[in-house]
Amino acid sequence: MADTPITQDLVTLPRTPPQGRTNLIGLTRAQLRDALIAAGTAEKQARMRSGQVWQWLYHWGARDFAAMTNLAKPYRAWLAEHFTIEVPAIVSRSVSADGTRKYLLRIAGGHEVEAVYIPEEGRGTLCVSSQVGCTLTCSFCHTGTQRLVRNLTASEIVGQVMVARDDLGEWPEPGKPRPQTRLVSNLVLMGMGEPLYNFENVRDAMQVVMDNEGLSLSRKRITLSTSGIVPEIARTAEEIGCLLAVSFHATTDEVRDKLVPINRKWNIATLLEALRAYPKLSNSERITFEYVMLKGVNDSDEDARRLVRLIAGIPAKINLIPFNEWPGAPYERSDPERIEAFADIVHKAGYASPIRTPRGEDIMAACGQLKSASERARKGRRAAAE
Ligand code: SAH
Ligand code: SF4
């Protein structure tokens, strides 16, 4: 198992570098047990040992085998010889005036991804990335202009949660009662990348994150956002079971083809068919339709009425996202009155239609503004040279 490739489509990254030790972060429970066995732990002990290690990793947030005090000392030393506990390194952390924190993280190969923590009253949402960049090219999205792409490993996805909890100081302390409210109470796969183009790693990472002897985020507190990779939608319901958000953004194929080019492959009708089946398959209440408000492009009353007709029968919430600008963006944000009028039509048709308040705009942490700083710098240098 040590040499099994763990990403398939973009770049193949072996979990274990040659002669290296295996990083335990991001292995599912079954993979962790198998890894202990493959390295020499007796099969009949492996279940218990892996359970103990799991708790240290994900309940206590341990980063050192020496701290795993309910394991015999020689076994701890043995673990350290064969395994590591590694999470992405924080390159920089920006804190917005509204408390939003953006982390720029370095991962294997010198790549960088961003994760964003959004504190709210009595809860907090962590937005994680699933790829470096994105192979799709939605015309309003900053990440879509980034060429460099590779899938994140399950370890790097779980690692983003671990890093945020480190930074927020949210690991329990032995003997101290756990606080009532959680800082990272919700998780959204809405950072860089298309999660359904990295399905296996996202699924495995979510299995780790959902496990209730560890990070313990229930499937109802995880929302995966997709641009509409239709063949993977039913699989998401069956194999992950989290809540689903879809980047809808337009009410005709003509406009959606331009905004979300994957629409040319799976058009609105095909997408809606897959979405109709989702709530039942995943036993979840409703789907979130994300709708970015672009001035004069998709924000008319007619669009609002068409949207309501299209989604008729699907239990849904419509999240209206005022367009977040980025340098060189070809669109403008709709006026607040336009957004209100649009929201009103949707609301009167019986759907919740919250307008998403942009968070962390001052640190370029808002939806669609994420892009690795190194990539920004590269582009900047190129522009300066031209
Ligand atoms: N790739 C996935 C998840 C990441 S994007 C997806 O597309 O669903 C998270 C959300 O932010 C998506 O709905 C996306 O369409 C939206 N978004 C992208 N760029 C934006 C921008 N500049 N302003 C506002 N929302 C944007
Ligand atoms: Fe990729 Fe989503 Fe951005 Fe589209 S909106 S380019 S799918 S990250």
Ligand 1 atom nearest to CA at 136: 1
Tokens at residue 252, please?
A: 């005709």
At 359 the pLDDT is: 82
Range of the domain at 100: 89-385
Ligand 2 atom nearest to CA at 141: 3
Final residue belonging to a domain, choices 55, 84, 113? 84
Residue pointed to by tokens 């001035």: 295
**Lowest-confidence segment of 185-194, 256-265, 324-333 by average pLDDT:** 324-333
**Domain assignment of residue 14, yes or no:** no
**Contact by Cβ (8 Å): 91, 104:** yes
Do 297 and 342 reside in the same domain of the chain? yes
Tokens at residue 122, please?
A: 């009595």
The CATH number of the domain where 329 resides is what? Answer: 3.20.20.70
Q: Is a pLDDT exceeding 90 seen at residue 3?
A: no
Q: Report the pLDDT averaged over residues 151-178.
A: 93
Element (H, E) at 217: none
**Domain assignment of residue 15, yes or no:** no
* Residues labelled as active-site residues: 114, 367
At 374 the pLDDT is: 56
Ligand 2 centroid to residue 143 C-alpha, Å: 6
Tokens at residue 129, please?
A: 């990335």
Q: What residues line ligand 1, using a CB cutoff of 6 Å?
A: 138, 140-141, 190, 194, 225-227, 247, 290, 292, 321, 323-324, 367-368
**Domain assignment of residue 260, yes or no:** yes
Do 80 and 102 reside in the same domain of the chain? no
Q: Which ligand is nearest to the Cα of residue 139, counting in written order?
A: 2
* Ligand 2 pocket member 246 (CB < 6 A): no
Q: Which residue has better confidence, 136 or 13?
A: 136
Do 55 and 113 reside in the same domain of the chain? no
Of 141, 224, 256, the one to substitute when testing ligand 2's pocket (max ligand atoms within 8 A of C-beta) is 141
**Domain assignment of residue 197, yes or no:** yes
At 386 the pLDDT is: 39
Do 34 and 47 reside in the same domain of the chain? yes
Do 93 and 56 reside in the same domain of the chain? no
CB neighbours of residue 375 within 10 Å? 19
In the chain, the DSSP E strands lie at 22-23, 83-84, 89-95, 101-107, 111-120, 123-127, 131-132, 150-151, 186-189, 222-226, 243-247, 287-293, 316-322
Do 47 and 195 reside in the same domain of the chain? no
Element (H, E) at 47: helix 43-54
Of 367, 370, 371, the one to substitute when testing ligand 1's pocket (max ligand atoms within 8 A of C-beta) is 367
Residue nearest to atom 20 of ligand 1 (CA): 368
At 70 the pLDDT is: 95
**Lowest-confidence segment of 177-186, 189-198, 298-307, 372-381 by average pLDDT:** 372-381
pLDDT, the chain, mean? 90
Do 96 and 50 reside in the same domain of the chain? no
**Domain assignment of residue 2, yes or no:** no
**Lowest-confidence segment of 7-21, 288-302, 350-364 by average pLDDT:** 7-21
Backbone angles phi, psi at 19, to 5 degrees: 60, 10
Ligand 2 atom nearest to CA at 193: 8
275 pLDDT band (50/70/90 cuts)?
Answer: very high
Residue 115: alpha-carbon gap to chain centroid: 8
* Ligand 2 pocket member 141 (CB < 6 A): yes
Residue 290: alpha-carbon gap to chain centroid: 15
Of 127, 128, 134, the one to substitute when testing ligand 2's pocket (max ligand atoms within 8 A of C-beta) is 134
**Domain assignment of residue 8, yes or no:** no
At 235 the pLDDT is: 96
At 330 the pLDDT is: 94
Final residue belonging to a domain, choices 49, 84, 119? 84
Ligand 2 centroid to residue 47 C-alpha, Å: 40
Looking at the structure of the chain, the number of domains it has is 2
Tokens at residue 241, please?
A: 């079971």
* Ligand 2 pocket member 129 (CB < 6 A): no
The CATH number of the domain where 34 resides is what? Answer: 1.10.150.530
At 12 the pLDDT is: 46
Do 75 and 107 reside in the same domain of the chain? no
Do 206 and 341 reside in the same domain of the chain? yes
Q: Report the pLDDT averaged over residues 283-290.
A: 89
Q: Report the pLDDT averaged over residues 41-62.
A: 96
**Domain assignment of residue 4, yes or no:** no
Final residue belonging to a domain, choices 84, 112, 137? 84
Q: Is a pLDDT exceeding 60 seen at residue 322?
A: yes
At 361 the pLDDT is: 79
Backbone angles phi, psi at 373, to 5 degrees: -60, -35
Residue nearest to atom 6 of ligand 2 (CA): 144
At 2 the pLDDT is: 38
Question: Nearest-CA neighbor of 30 among 270, 203, 218?
Answer: 203
* Ligand 2 pocket member 227 (CB < 6 A): yes
**Domain assignment of residue 293, yes or no:** yes
Q: How far is CA 157 from CA 160, 192, 193, 221, 274, in A?
A: 5, 11, 12, 16, 26
**Lowest-confidence segment of 161-165, 241-245, 282-286 by average pLDDT:** 282-286
Residue 270 DSSP class: H
Do 39 and 181 reside in the same domain of the chain? no
Do 114 and 240 reside in the same domain of the chain? yes
At 17 the pLDDT is: 56
Do 65 and 96 reside in the same domain of the chain? no
Note the pTM of the prediction, 2 decimals.
0.92
Q: Report the pLDDT averaged over residues 238-260.
A: 97
